[in-house]
């Protein structure tokens, strides 16, 4: 059996999906043959996408797996042998109504007619998908992301006087502006990792938050930032999964995250949950994990245990079972 991982042509430092499925490929290679089919063109504009569709039709295997982002190439693949992974539906929140219609049509409605199965990375994404389109629920399988084994325990004494707070991401859903407001007059150092945003910078200066801003980090550099921080703040308004939660827990850092979307599902009982739309809730959550030593340490212990649910061997077996099922049909 040959499984083809159809992957987008990634822009520099756009590698989250690729990283996940490269790990799956390595883990599953003893059981099945897996080949990567990376799109020849960036997924921007009409003509490059048409070319990607035509190219994909010539590179099929016993099982075709569209790993994310390029859902539209399903139009060229054998529907009986194709599985589509949907990471999140945040793209449907585009402010332009015409763009939303096009995205829904070519990233959901039409591709779903051309696949035998859909995988999603959380129950929250499954629920969101079913609320937007008609699709047989039994054909949707929840297979979460795995815990990256490179993120390992690194003990550090918590700095109660001036904690170093890590923030991953600067897009609108990452909710950085509310976080900044919540940190007003809390003695801390905020480390932001993500693309530069002028409005975020202005708010940091307005609320006099001490901060560092880092972009385009290699994986080893990202791990170092987790090791150096005292806590992770991940109060996003929507996530398909929420990988930073697991990354922080694996390192041994306390996590404050949102009580909505996929985040409670991923964090389990190993994070302090807050209302991401309520600045006071975010502030109280951060102060709780700073001030309450026993509570904080228990969350860290729970975090190590929680990561075991996402061991790569468990996730790999779920994919292998799915591929075997599709190949037999």
- Least Cα distance to 76 among 105, 99, 48, 51 occurs for 51
Give the model confidence (pLDDT) of 126-171 as tens digits. Answer: 999 999 999 999 999 999 999 999 999 999 999 999 999 999 999 9
d(CA 319, CA 141): 10
| Domain boundaries, given as residue ranges, for the chain | 2-146+311-328, 164-309
CATH of 2-146+311-328, one of 3.20.20.80, 3.40.50.300, 3.40.50.2000, 3.80.10.10: 3.40.50.2000
What is the third-level CATH fold of 164-309?
Rossmann fold (3.40.50)
CA atoms of 270 and 263, how far apart (whole Å): 11
Residue 212 parent element (H or E): strand 211-214
Supply the pLDDT for residue 93: 87
Helices (H), the chain: 16-28, 46-56, 97-104, 110-112, 123-132, 176-182, 198-206, 219-228, 243-251, 263-267, 279-291, 293-307, 312-328
Per-residue confidence (pLDDT) for residue 13, from 0 to 100: 66
Low-confidence residues of the chain: pLDDT under 50: none
User: pTM of the predicted model, to two decimals?
Assistant: 0.91
Rounded to 5 degrees, φ, ψ at 196 are -65, 145
> In the prediction, which pLDDT does 94 show?
87
In angstroms, rounded to a whole number, what is the distance separating the alpha carbons of residues 272 and 265? 13
- Same topology for domains 2-146+311-328 and 164-309, yes or no? yes
Predicted local confidence at residue 16, as pLDDT: 82
Place of tokens 């109504």: 97
């Amino acid at each position: 059996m040959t499984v083809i991982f159809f992957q987008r042509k990634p822009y520099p430092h756009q590698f989250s999906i690729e990283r996940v499925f490269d790990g799956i490929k390595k883990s599953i290679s003893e059981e099945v043959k897996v080949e990567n089919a990376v799109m020849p063109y960036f997924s921007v504009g009409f003509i490059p996408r048409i070319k990607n569709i035509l190219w994909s039709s010539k590179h099929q295997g016993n099982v075709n797996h569209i790993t994310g982002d390029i859902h539209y190439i399903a139009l060229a693949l054998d529907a009986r042998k194709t599985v589509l992974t949907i990471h999140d539906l945040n793209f449907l929140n585009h402010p332009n109504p015409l763009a939303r219609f096009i995205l829904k049509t070519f990233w959901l409605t039409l591709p779903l007619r051309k696949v035998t199965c859909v995988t999603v990375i959380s129950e929250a994404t499954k629920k969101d998908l079913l609320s937007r389109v008609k699709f047989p629920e039994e054909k949707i399988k929840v297979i979460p992301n795995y815990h990256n084994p490179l993120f390992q325990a690194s003990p550090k004494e918590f700095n109660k006087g001036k904690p170093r707070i890590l923030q991953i991401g600067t897009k609108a859903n990452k909710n950085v502006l509310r976080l900044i407001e919540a940190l007003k007059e809390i003695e801390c150092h905020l480390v932001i990792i993500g693309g530069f945003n002028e409005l975020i910078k202005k708010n940091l200066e307005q609320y006099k938050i001490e901060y560092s801003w880092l972009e385009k980090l290699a994986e080893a550099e990202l791990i170092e930032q987790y090791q150096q921080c005292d806590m992770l703040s991940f109060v996003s308004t929507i996530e398909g999964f929420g990988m930073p939660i697991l990354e922080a827990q694996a390192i041994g850092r306390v996590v404050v995250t949102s009580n909505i979307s996929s985040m409670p599902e991923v964090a389990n009982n190993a994070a302090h949950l807050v209302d991401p739309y309520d600045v006071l809730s975010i502030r109280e959550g951060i102060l709780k994990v700073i001030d309450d030593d026993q509570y904080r340490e228990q969350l860290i212990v729970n975090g190590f245990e929680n990561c075991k649910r996402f061991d790569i061997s468990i996730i790999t077996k779920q994919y292998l079972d799915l591929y075997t099922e599709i190949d037999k049909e």
